[in-house]
Every structure is written in C-alpha cells, then in structure tokens.
Amino acid sequence: MNLYTKIGLGIGIFVIADTINRQRTPKPIVMNLPKPMRGACIPPFGIFITPKNAMDPTVIAHELCHWQQYQRLGLIGFAAKYIGQSLSTGYGKMGMEKECRQQSGESNHCVNHYRQCYG
Ligand SMILES: [Zn+2]
C-alpha cells in the first residue's frame, strides 16, 4: 500500500465516522487518558472519560459540550477553531473551553482559572 492510498484511507475513515456520528449524542467511553486529563472529546469518534471520572456529571457535561461545538462547527471548523484558540490564548483562557466549563456548572473561579482547580 503506497503513501497516497494510506492517506486516502485515513481521510475516508474520518469522513465516514463524521457522517455516521455527527448527528448522534455519544455515550462516554471509559478509558485511561494522559494526566491531568479527566476527559476528552475526539470528533468524529466520541467522548472519552477516565475511570476515576466516569460517573462525574460535570466532566461528562463538559465533554458533551465540546461535542455540541463539533456538531455546530463541523469537524474541520471545530479542529481549526480549537487549535487556533489554543495557540493564541492557551488552554486556560480559550473561549471554547470556558464555554464548556460554564455550561457544565464549574464555579466562576474554575471557569477562569482552570489549572488552579484541576492542575
Ligand atoms: Zn474542554
């Protein structure tokens, strides 16, 4: 299999997963993630929560909020906006993260000073 075939297959997997999953609300998948992550939204595949936080409604609501951002912006739009904000303001201050911290019920202090709350 040459490089172009592999790239084509890779893009195909994303397009198929995007087509199937974007309209759905994913069930959280419990798995270990690198610290200090408590959860992750990885469009178009789903949301992932660490075993320790699997029953934490705040963490689940936070990742579902990112999933709604993905549904609103599309796969490319979500990735571009998330990476762009992350590079320009940093994870702690980026608007997409603050939106989900707020929506999931974090305190005002934790919305604006996330690392002080969760390391
Ligand atoms: Zn987040």
Q: Which tokens in the block code for residue 119?
A: 């390391």
Measure 62 CA to ligand 1 centroid, in angstroms.
Answer: 6
Residues around ligand 1, an ion, CB closer than 5 A: 97, 100
For 18, other C-beta atoms within 10 Å of its C-beta total 16
Residues, the chain: 119
Using alpha carbons only, give the angle 31, 29, 74 rounded to the nearest 5 degrees.
120
Query: Between residues 115 and 52, which one has the greater pLDDT?
Result: 52
Q: pLDDT band at residue 118, thresholds of 50, 70 and 90?
A: confident
The 10s digit of each residue's pLDDT in 21-31 is 999 999 999 99
The pTM (predicted TM-score) of the whole model is: 0.92
Average the pLDDT over 49-65 and give the result.
97
Measure 1 CA to ligand 1 centroid, in angstroms.
Answer: 37
Q: pLDDT band at residue 115, thresholds of 50, 70 and 90?
A: confident
Measure 100 CA to ligand 1 centroid, in angstroms.
Answer: 6
DSSP symbols for 60-103 = HHHHHHHHHHHHHHHHHHHHHHHHHHHHHH-TTT-HHHHHHHHH
Q: pLDDT band at residue 76, thresholds of 50, 70 and 90?
A: very high
Measure 38 CA to ligand 1 centroid, in angstroms.
Answer: 9
Measure 9 CA to ligand 1 centroid, in angstroms.
Answer: 29
Residue type, 50: T
In the chain, how many domains are there? Answer: 1
Domain that holds residue 39: 3-118
For the chain, percent of residues with pLDDT exceeding 70: 100
